[in-house]
Structure 1
Amino acid sequence: MIIFPILILISFVLYIYYKVMIVRSNDPLTQEYLNSKSKLFLGSFIFFFGINQYVFYQTKLSLFVGLVFITLGIFQAQQGWKASKHYRAEFQKHRTSPQS
């Protein structure tokens, strides 16, 4: 199954990308938005890693470790998704408002 390592790699690269973009940004609202996006990709990284862990080893221990990773990944991705939706709306309001 080559798909899970590819998804893990893509998720990790996007997580690092958004973390670097946070450092490059000066606007606090933009930083919060980018941080929420990075949380989303961190959650997907942990989720896919948990699935890959079980598919690769297929033991009881890897099942338990995989279930913990899947649960944490879903929780992290869900929190990142909610924050991303919130900050996306705030970011759109900030962009469309007239600058003083």
Structure 2
Amino acid sequence: MILFPVAILVSFVLYIYYKVMVLRTKDPLTQEYLNSKAKIFLGVFIFVFGINQYLFYETRLSLFIGILFLILGVFQFRLGFKASRHYKNEYAKLRQKSR
């Protein structure tokens, strides 16, 4: 099962990438958009980590902790996805104004 560790690593690297990009950007709208993208990858990281931990240990305690991680991951992903769509629309409005 090399799929889950690879997904964990990729999502964590992308989370760090977007967080660094937030620090490097001065525009508040771009910062919010990049932060929402980081939340998406944080949600994926937590979700996949929860699945991986249950498959690795297969105990009742790891099941409960895994379910908690799944719920937190879905919640984080959903918030990031909604914010990402919102700020993408804000970019479109900003481009229409500038033309």
TM-score relative to the length of structure 2: 0.96
Counterpart residue type for residue 65 of structure 1:
I
TM-score relative to the length of structure 1: 0.95
Post-superposition Cα deviations, 1:29-53, rounded to whole Å, max 9, x if no partner, equal 0000000000010000000000001
Post-superposition Cα deviations, 1:44-95, rounded to whole Å, max 9, x if no partner, equal 0000000001011101010011000000000000000000000011112223
For structure 1, list consecutive stretches of 5 or more residues without a partner in the other structure: none
Match of 1:25 in 2: 25
Alpha-carbon distance in structure 2 between the residues aligned to 1:86 and 1:14:
20
| Most deviating of 84-93 and 34-43 | 84-93
Aligned residues: 99
Match of 1:52 in 2: 52
Match of 1:94 in 2: 94
For structure 2, list consecutive stretches of 5 or more residues without a partner in the other structure: none
RMSD: 1.0
Alpha-carbon distance in structure 1 between the residues aligned to 2:83 and 2:24:
20
